[in-house]
Structure 1
Amino acid sequence: MLGATILADEHDGLSKRNRPPLAAAGPGLIWAFDLGGGRARPIEVCDGETTGFRWLHLSLAHQGTETWINRLTSLPEDVREMLVANDSHQRALVDSGVVGCVIHDFERDFERSDLSQVGVLRFALTADMMITVRLHPIRSADAIRQALDRGNGIDAPADALDLLIGTVAESISTAVRDLSLEVQRAEDAFLDGRDSPTARGLVGLRRRLAMANRMLDGMRAVFRRLEGDEDLPETMVATVERLNQRIQALGADALGVQRQILQLREEIDISVDQRTNQNLYVLSIMTALMLPATFVTGLFGMNTGGMPWAQASHGTLLATLLAFGTAGATYLFLRWMGFMRR
């Protein structure tokens, strides 16, 4: 059995009879750990004494979560409001040494493996506790729980912040790397001329990249806000600066993938324009070659008196030869003028 209380939306392998009662688990508690002494110890209650650092991961879908947070006097009022708010805007604040943030992360979909939905993760960080809150299952929460369940201890708030943001950043980094590989495969297919991508086919890649860019833009704004806040605890300054640099590097990677997509789009557009121009060129040449022949056949089709070869036994053959002759003469004239190219 896993060493934490996990609701069905976070772990589908835990049977109902093995789950602790909801009252014992606390209001909306998904998992919780006491992290003092360099080791992680799973707990099943939100309240209670602790001698070290505590991490609580809560679900806002539970009706009791908001009530419990609003009664938590160890958090400033504006931080409590941030944890239970309905908005999804990424933001940060520091009040009385407590750091509160709203960031975006990929939602966990148990039926799909792609990263197509963005969810909201809220957290409050005090000197001895991290509270993370979400409405829908979040990918980083599973990764953090697994890391803590392996016994990774956290002795300081800066370590908890580093683990949380580092896990979210790694999830975004994986998405950006996957996008880069897809773009490279599309480029190879385009250069090889097999199953070449279309401009419309790149829309899905651009949409997913735009999603990652919006997440990174918001996180950059959050950490610029934290880095410039004079109330940020001194023990977190170095960690915030390092995480800000990592997010900046991720933004540069995403920008590189965006340039790849734009370059591939330009190459596809150039290829389409070339094919269109080639088709127009062939059509123009065919029209030029057929125009004299059409004139000859139209002339002989007027059915008026004095028509050449009207009484000749081979008049039709002669008119046909004249039509082909004018087409051939037009072809030679176009070659002489330089309009014919290979």
Structure 2
Amino acid sequence: MAPPVEPDALPSPFAGLPGALWLYRFDAAGRAHVLDATQCGIDAVHAPDHWHWLHLDLSDARSAQVAAKLPLPDDARATLLSPDSHVNLQLDEDEAVHGAFVDWAHQRGVDLAVEGQLRGDDGIGWLHFALTPDLLVTARRQALRSVEAARRAVGAGTRADSPVRMLELIAGRFADTVERSGDGLSVRLDRIEDRVLADSIGEERRDLAQLRHQTVRLHRPLTAMRRVLKQFEQRHPAYPEHELLPAVARLNQRFDDLDGDVATLQERARLLQDEVAAKLAERTNRHLYVLSMVTALLLPPSLVAGLFGMNLPGLPFAHSTHGLAFALLLGVASSVVVYLALRRMGVSRST
């Protein structure tokens, strides 16, 4: 009777690296070379003087089988396959790095070279990653904008001499999108401010509400990234020689600057909203003032007309040929008297 076959010895029912979206090999100079993930096996990620970037699609159930065979620590593999949707970054004692970064969802057919800013319907996604000195594994459940931009960059000749450098490049593309979106919002805010100062208020309240909503969309992921990166620096002061620490410090500085810019946009938009609300309230008050004055001036003539309109005997001017003129003059005189009384009380003076 043949001995039982161990589970790890069973042949894989899949060819290549199922669930892999792409596989790059980077030489010693940091140049990327595309490998065919459908033909390569797990042993393809082991090569002297090279490091690899493997990107997995977590919506493909077979990607978990690929991750199980990768040379990664258990904690890193668990983070890679985790459904968690919060930013985190961990450095193990064996120098393996793993975590999750927030990213913008990438819509198919959008040209990243032209569409640099976020659109109103762009959501967020999560990039899970694990890296060792010679391997970067990233995974996602939906297409991500920064990852796609980084892939196109290395395909166009951008060099990355290590997995940490590649991870920094991806995070940098995230920051690029935030920066371009912030610049676009700043231009829109300048235009709204010009219209408000020119007192030509139309749809500014709606535009400012949309702009503030977009600044909040930029601010929240930035805050999450800054918090985790700062905590990472505080937790690992004993690893100054690790390549990740300088990269985290650079990203921290950039995210701090971007968050300050976004906070400035939020404050400007809030102040403009307050100014628009004040101007609209002032305009409403002016309208109410005019309406009140018209009402006050027309009330006495209405009373005179009501009195002369009563069908009762003894009404003055009832048999006079000039009765209508006298009644009109009395109505006008009553309005003039009310107007002079309002002026004397200061009510008719607009403020």
Same fold (TM over 0.5): yes
Residue among 35, 40, 63 paired with 2:32: 40
Q: Deviations over 1:20-51 (max 9, x none)?
A: xx944x22222222112112222223621222
Shift of 1:296: 1.6
Shift of 1:299: 2.3
Shift of 1:82: 1.6
Q: Which amino acid aligns with 1:105?
A: D
Is contact 1:92-1:225 (8 Å) kept?
no
Is contact 2:58-2:139 (8 Å) kept?
yes
Shift of 1:153: 3.0
Residue among 322, 332, 337 paired with 1:329: 337
1:9-48 matched pairs, under 5 angstroms = 23-24=15-16, 26-38=17-29, 39-44=31-36, 45=40, 47=42, 48=44
How far apart, in 2, do the equivalents of 1:28 and 1:286 lie? 76
How far apart, in 2, do the equivalents of 1:180 and 1:303 lie? 70
Q: Which amino acid aligns with 1:208?
A: Q
Q: Deviations over 1:111-131 (max 9, x none)?
A: 565432111111112111111
Q: Does 1:65 align with 2:63?
A: yes
How far apart, in 2, do the equivalents of 1:195 and 1:301 lie? 46
- Tell me which residue corresponds to 1:312: 320
Shift of 1:248: 0.8
1:190-229 matched pairs, under 5 angstroms = 190-193=196-199, 196-229=202-235
Q: Which amino acid aligns with 2:87?
A: Q
Q: Deviations over 1:94-126 (max 9, x none)?
A: 223111121111111135654321111111121
Is contact 2:201-2:276 (8 Å) kept?
no
Counterpart of 1:61 in 2: which secondary structure? coil
- Tell me which residue corresponds to 1:152: 158
Unaligned runs of 5+ in 2: 1-13
How far apart, in 1, do the equivalents of 2:79 and 2:295 lie? 71
Q: Does 1:234 align with 2:242?
A: yes
Is contact 1:57-1:132 (8 Å) kept?
yes
Counterpart of 1:105 in 2: which secondary structure? strand
Is contact 2:53-2:163 (8 Å) kept?
no
How far apart, in 2, do the equivalents of 1:23 and 1:320 lie? 101
- Tell me which residue corresponds to 1:90: 87
Counterpart of 1:42 in 2: which secondary structure? strand
- Tell me which residue corresponds to 2:6: none
Q: Which amino acid aligns with 1:107?
A: A
How far apart, in 1, do the equivalents of 2:337 and 2:242 lie? 89
Residue among 179, 182, 185 paired with 1:179: 185
Residue among 268, 273, 279 paired with 1:271: 279
Is contact 1:29-1:46 (8 Å) kept?
no
RMSD: 2.2
How far apart, in 2, do the equivalents of 1:88 and 1:80 lie? 16
Aligned residues: 319
Is contact 1:53-1:154 (8 Å) kept?
no
Q: Does 1:77 align with 2:85?
A: no
How far apart, in 1, do the equivalents of 2:321 and 2:27 lie? 113
Q: Deviations over 1:199-254 (max 9, x none)?
A: 23333222221111111011012202321223756232222112111111111011
Is contact 1:101-1:222 (8 Å) kept?
no
Q: Which amino acid aligns with 1:160?
A: M
Is contact 1:94-1:229 (8 Å) kept?
no
Counterpart of 1:234 in 2: which secondary structure? coil
Counterpart of 2:235 in 1: which secondary structure? coil
Q: Deviations over 1:282-311 (max 9, x none)?
A: 111011101211222222233334322222
Residue among 96, 99, 102 paired with 1:101: 99
- Tell me which residue corresponds to 1:299: 307
- Tell me which residue corresponds to 1:259: 267
Query: Taking structure 1 as reference, are residues 46 and 152 closer, same or farther at Cα in structure 2, changes over 3 Å only?
Result: farther
Shift of 1:152: 3.0
Query: Taking structure 1 as reference, are residues 168 and 46 closer, same or farther at Cα in structure 2, changes over 3 Å only?
Result: farther
Q: Deviations over 1:127-169 (max 9, x none)?
A: 1111111111111122211221133332234322321211111
User: Greater shift after overlay, 87-96 or 109-118?
Assistant: 109-118
Unaligned runs of 5+ in 1: 1-21
Counterpart of 2:310 in 1: which secondary structure? coil
Counterpart of 2:321 in 1: which secondary structure? coil
